[in-house]
Amino acid sequence: MALTIKSVNMMMPVVQRFGPACCFSTSQTLQEIRLLARMRIVDNSAIGKAAAEIGKPPRVIHVYNDKRVGFLGDKVLVTVKGEMKRAYIVGLRQKQKPNVPRMDTNNIVLVDDNGNPLGNRITVPIPSALRRKGGDITKILSLATKFV
């Protein structure tokens, strides 16, 4: 028996032929930093300015912790204009601990492989809760002029 286009169309499910039954999503919005989350570079590095000009936000491709969910002060690997760069999260939209401000965007500061920031100034206020974290984040805090 030869299959014709009409017989193949009749075998396809109705949803596949006519599209989904509804046009809205019922799943929750994830307010977390996971893979492919869009970020905003808040330092004045050259690559950050170039990415903002062309309108392609950096995306997270790896989170350096056990849960694979990024939180304030965590190190992430992002792609910026096709290049992989390391960055620290300095502002989040997700619900925060008490007395930690919630930002309206997901903010990162780019660093090189040695942990030195690529820019020399941070353009947004930084949560003062980051002062409790140690390591390479202290180099980023030295660039900040405003704390909340």
Going along the chain from its start, the domains and CATH numbers come out as: 29-141 (2.40.150.20)
User: Residue 131 above 80 pLDDT?
Assistant: yes
Whole-angstrom distance, CA of residue 124 vs CA of residue 148: 10
Which of left, alpha, beta for 108 (phi over 0: left; psi -120 to 50: alpha)?
A: beta
Dump pLDDT digits (tens) for 24-46. Answer: 545 455 567 889 999 999 999 99
Confidence of residue 84 (pLDDT cuts 50, 70, 90): very high
Place 133 in a pLDDT band, splitting at 50, 70 and 90: confident
Burial class (CB in 10 A: 0-12, 13-18, 19+), 60: buried
Which residue carries 């936000």 as its tokens?
Answer: 57
In the chain, the amino acid numbered 80 is V
Q: What is the pLDDT of residues 86-110, one digit of tens each?
A: 999 999 988 888 888 888 889 999 9
Question: Taking the model in full, what pTM does it have?
Answer: 0.77
- Type of residue found at 45: S
